[in-house]
Each structure stands twice: as C-alpha cells, then as structure tokens.
A and B are shown apart, each in its own frame.
Chain A
C-alpha cells in the first residue's frame, strides 16, 4: 500500500486497476446478493450452490404491488416531498439572510445547527411521540413531515449559505441603486443563480427523509407506514418471505441510488453540515 499516494500522477498501472476491480467486487457483493435475490423464486433462493445463470422472475415485485406495499411507498414519497418543500421554503431565504449578514450570532447558529443534525433521533422521538399522542398526529403523514423538517431545515440553511456566498454582491448593489426592493432582487436575480444549489439541497433533504426508519417506526402504525418500515414488517409478520423482502429492499433503495449519483459532489458537505465548510 506504500505506493498508494503516487507522488507523480502517472496513469494507473494494470496491477492497481486489478486491485481496484477486485476491491469493488468484494465491497459490492453483499449489495448485489440482495439485488439478484429479488429476482429469484423462493425455491431458488434456498438452492445451494447458487446457480450462476437462472431465469429471473418478477413474481416478488408483482406480489408486492398487489399487497399493501404501494400505499407505504406513497406515504414515503409524500412525507419526504412535503418536508423537503417546507424546509426549502423556510430555509432558503434564511440562508440568504445569513450569507449577507456579518453579525456575531453566526458561529453560535452554526453550532446549534450542528447539534440538531447530530442529536440521536431518540432525543426528538420521545417528545414528538408524547405530543402527537396528545393532539392526534400519530400515524399521519403530517406528523412525519413535521419531524423530518426538524432535521431538513437546519440542513437547508447550512447547505445553501455557501451557494449564496458565491453570488457577487456587486450585482445586487447595482439593482439596489436602481431602486429595486430587496425582495425582488432576491427572487429575480439571486435565486436563479443558485438554482443548482437548491436542486442539490432538495435531493439531499429528500434522501434523508426517505431513508428514515426510526421516526417512522415509532410515530406510525398502519395508515402512514413508510416503505422502510413496511419492508421490516415482511420479516416480522408475514413469515420469512425472502424474495419479497429482497424486492422491497430493492424498491426502497432504487430512488436513492438514482438521486445520490446526481448529487455525489455534495454528499460529504451534507453529512458534515455545521462543522467544516463543504
């Protein structure tokens, strides 16, 4: 491994390429195992040695489609989308204001945002559970949207600030001198310039909400059950239908894989929000 940080950036040797290929296959094999399993009948799943070539079947997916799974998929979509929208509407103007504000509270606010991101979910779950039980928001999509906003809003504020920082203030000053109100400048000049940042932030928010398991496990029962919880329920209540479990897992991860490849540049800044500049 000594040669890892090649001093002179020559092109990769064959040896290195082979090592990378083998590592990649080993690393991804558990993931590929789930994927191939979702296309197998239950008999085939239990068959060892596993056949290298088999006729893929969609029966796991079709039986999912006929059950309660689509409803939970819709719940996941709705709670993730609405919380993303809410967090953006509230957080984007706030991020802009913070970016243009040199006040003292900035560091304290950064730390507060970090703590909300880092706090273990159980810390929010207990109060939300008690409150929702009291006002009747348990097992509702609305309830999930509110909870998800508690971690998506800090994320938006943090992620969007550097994007606003890159918009030259000379542009805004020129418009200000012409007498345009700041609201108009923000909406018509600044916002279009940070559109890619908004898109990346929106995707990250969506993914965090979509990936949630803990809140949904505790705050929903049947009506608002999300897809990740539904997959686990296959295990606990419907016997060990491995094919369906694998198909459900594959469906839950599909949107995530597609979206996250689109925002891979921002994955780290989203995860480290609050402490280091992304």
Chain B
C-alpha cells in the first residue's frame, strides 16, 4: 500500500472512532426517546393503569380521537393565531429596528448589544417580567392607565386580551433575533447598489423598496420560519401568565399535550398529540433547510 493509502486508512479509522461515541449517545438520548414516543402514542397508556402501556389492541385509537377532540382542534387554532401574529410583528419590528440601527457610529454599535437583552434572558425570567407588568397591584402599566382614567381589565384573565398579552410578551422576547439577522443581511449590501440608485435620482423610499427589500427578503423569510418553529415552544410564558386560560383561550397544542400527560395522566393520548406536533415542526424545518440550501446555491 502506498503512503497515501496508509494515511487515508488511518484517517478513516480515526474518523470512525471520533464519530461513533456521539452517534451512539445521540441515538440513545434522542433516537430511542423519539421511537418510544411513537410507540406510546399507539397505546391507551395512563399512569394509573400500568398494564395499558403495552396494550396495542387498537393502535390508531388515539389518532382517530384527535379530529373530534374540540380541545385539540382549538389548540391548533390558538397556536396558529399565536404564531401568525407573533412572527409577523417580530419580523416587521425587527426589520424596522435593524434599519434604524444600520449606521456607522461607534455609539450605535455599542448600543446594539443592549438591544439583544430580551432574547438572551432565561425564558422563565421573561415570563416573570411580564407577570409583573400584567399584575394590576404592582404594575406601572396599570398605574399609567389609572392616571389616564382608563379602567384596564386584568389582561391575562380576559377572554379578549389574554392571547394578545402573550403575543406582546413573545414579540418582546424574540424581536432581537429577527433584528440581529436582518442587520447582518443589511451589512452585506454593497454600497454601490444604493449609490447608483441615488445618482439616478431615486428617493430613499424607492431605494428601500427596489434595492434594500429584495436584498433582505430571503432573510426576512428565513428568520420568520425559525421563529415559526420556535413559537411552538412558547411554554414558560403561557405557564406563568395564563395557564392556558381563561378557559382554553391561550391553550396551544404544546401546552395541551403537557396538561394531558402531566395533569390528566393520559400519557398515550398526549404522545399522539405530540407526534402530530413533531410532524408539523419537521415539515417546517424541512422547508427551512431547503430554502437555506437554495440561498447558498444562489450566493
């Protein structure tokens, strides 16, 4: 064997040794749980009834129950509303913020870091912060409203405002993410583009519409899709602010699955809800990867 061949063989052996532990561990702590989740979703497993964990007599029972479960259907609808408005506001406001802060200035570059704070806070601390804002006795918001002689209802226990309250808090938390991504995209726009347009007599609004927007459009879509995927996980906010209520006004699918498994002990049924949720997430992730690739190929 040539020297190169020997080196290649040694490289292959090293690669295998370096990869194997990770792949084995990943399979054990991510692969097996996923398989177990799917298996459990085929049983009527309840914690109080241990024998039911291996009852496969009617494997699709849970999935057949889903379409007729008003709470499940409602949770999908709540999730859709939360995701749509949350993502829309985060992308729009994040873009505006990025445009505002896209400028050459040492002070502004220093200030950018502070705009990131809401995003890096532990999600439960974000929930605590908004709990303080939404609790009438101690909230500056309610105090300000009373000064203006406005009688504000208790937002988080109002049928009309509870979901909006969650959307506001979620937007506050994740606005910095879209801001950061759009800002990075803005910084890659070659100056010549807008300079040429300026020479041609274009107004600033026209430059934004014809030069800047097409350039950042893919980033707006991608950051929006990332937020869409993560909006499924909005747990701490709902847990602390509304508990899914009032009624089930803010009960998203993730929260419903949590209640099913850990409040009602319906492990099997909860697993089937979770599998559906997981499939939705995988579908959207697939879209993100596909678009990311296409963008790389174009670049």
Contact B120 A256 (CB under 8 A): yes
What residue in chain B is nearest A234 (Cβ atoms)? B128
In the assembled complex, the Cα of A228 lies from the Cα of B7 at a distance in Å of 50
Would A12 and B18 count as touching, CB distance under 8 A?
no
Q: Which of A29-37, A54-62, A67-75 contacts B (4 or more CB under 8 A)?
A: A29-37
B37 part of interface (Cβ distance < 8 Å):
yes
**8 Å CB contact of A253 from B29, B121, B143:** B121
- For A253-278 the 0/1 string (1 means CB < 8 A from B) is 10011001100100110011011110
Select which of B37, B103, B295 is within 8 A of A123 by beta carbon. B37
| Chain B contacts for A28, CB-based, 8 A | 114, 117-118
Q: A121 to B271, alpha carbons, bound, how many Å?
A: 12
Shortest Cβ gap from B258 to chain A (Å)? 6
- Give A120 to B286 CA distance when docked, in angstroms: 15
Contact of B107 among A10, A12, A91 (CB under 8 A): A12
Partner of A5, one of B130, B132, B186, B226: B186
By secondary structure, the A interface counts as helix
Chain A neighbourhood of B129, CB < 8 A: 30-31, 33-34, 249
Chain B contacts with A in 87-143, Cβ cutoff 8 A: 96-105, 107-108, 111, 113-125, 128-133, 137-138, 140, 143
- Known A-B contacts A30-B133, A123-B278, A252-B124; the reply to A16 vs B100 at CB < 8 A is yes
Given known A267-B116, A268-B177, contact A246–B30 (CB-CB < 8 A): no
Complex Cα gap A268–B138 (Å): 35
Q: Is A186's beta carbon under 8 Å from chain B?
A: yes
| B133 proximity list for chain A (CB < 8 A) | 30, 33
Taken residue by residue from 17 to 45, chain A's Cβ proximity to chain B (1 for < 8 Å, 0 otherwise) reads as: 10111011001101101100100000001
Q: For A268, list chain B residues within 8 Å (CB).
A: 177, 180-181, 184
CB distance from B168 to the nearest CB of A (A): 10
> How many residues does chain B have at the interface if contact means C-beta atoms less than 8 Å apart?
109
Asked if B7 and A119 sit within 8 Å, CB to CB, the answer is no
- A20 to B103, alpha carbons, bound, how many Å? 11
Interface hub of A121, A129, A213, A257 (most chain B Cβ within 10 A): A213
The answer to whether A182 and B278 have CB atoms under 8 Å apart is: no
Q: Report chain A residues within 8 Å CB of B113.
A: 261, 264
Contacts of A1 in B (CB 8 A): 96, 99-100
Residue of B nearest to A276 (CB): B292
Please give me the residue from chain B that is nearest to A213 by CB atom.
B124
Asked if A122 meets B21 with Cβ closer than 8 Å, knowing A1-B99, A1-B100, the reply is no
**Partner among B114, B121, B125, B289 whose Cβ is within 8 Å of the Cβ of A274:** B289
Nearest CB of chain A from residue B272's CB, rounded to whole Å: 11
Q: How far is the CA of A3 from the CA of B281 in the complex (A)?
A: 37
Question: Given the complex, which residues of A lie within 8 Å of B76, measured CB to CB?
Answer: none
Q: In this assembly, does A183 line the interface, its C-beta being within 8 Å of a C-beta of chain B? A: yes
Contact B292 A97 (CB under 8 A): no
Tell me the residues in window 257-289 of chain B with beta carbons closer than 8 Å to chain A beta carbons: 257-258, 261-262, 267, 270-271, 274-275, 277-278, 281-282, 285-286, 288-289
- Minimum CB distance partner of B114 in chain A: A24
Distance A232 CA – B238 CA, assembled complex (angstroms): 13
B68 within 8 A of A: no
Q: Which of B33, B108, B204, B240 is in CB contact (< 8 Å) with A2?
A: B204
Which among B17, B277, B285, B292 is the interface contact of A115 at CB below 8 angstroms?
A: B285
> Which residue of B14, B180, B205 has the most chain A CB atoms within 10 A of its CB atom?
B14
Q: Which residues in A have their C-beta under 8 angstroms from that of B11?
A: 100, 182
Residues of A within 8 A of B84 (CB): none
**Contacting pair A128 B172 (CB below 8 A):** no
Cβ of B278: which chain A residues have Cβ within 8 Å of it? 119-120, 123
Task: Determine, out of B58-66, B148-156, B227-235, the stretch whose residues face the partner at the interface.
Answer: B227-235
* A126 CB, nearest partner CB in chain B, Å: 6
Does the CB pair A127–B261 fall under 8 Å?
Answer: no
Docked-complex contact A116 and B18, CB < 8 angstroms = no
Question: Which A residues touch B230, using CB under 8 A?
Answer: 118
How many Å from the CB of B206 to the closest CB on chain A?
9
- In the complex, what distance in Å separates the CA atom of A62 from the CA atom of B116? 30
* Complex CA distance for A16 and B175, rounded to whole angstroms: 20
Kindly name the residue among B19, B98, B204, B229 whose own CB sees the greatest number of chain A CB atoms within 10 A: B19
In the complex the two chains form, is A186's CB within 8 Å of B14's CB?
A: yes
**Centre residue among B23, B25, B194 by max chain A CB count within 10 A:** B25
* 19 A-B residue pairs with CB within 8 Å: A5-B208, A7-B191, A12-B108, A34-B125, A34-B132, A93-B22, A94-B23, A118-B285, A120-B232, A120-B254, A120-B278, A122-B274, A126-B270, A150-B30, A213-B239, A242-B132, A246-B128, A249-B128, A256-B122
Q: Given contacts A37-B132, A116-B26, list 8 more A-B pairs with CB under 8 A.
A: A4-B102, A8-B194, A12-B107, A33-B133, A97-B14, A122-B277, A126-B37, A213-B123
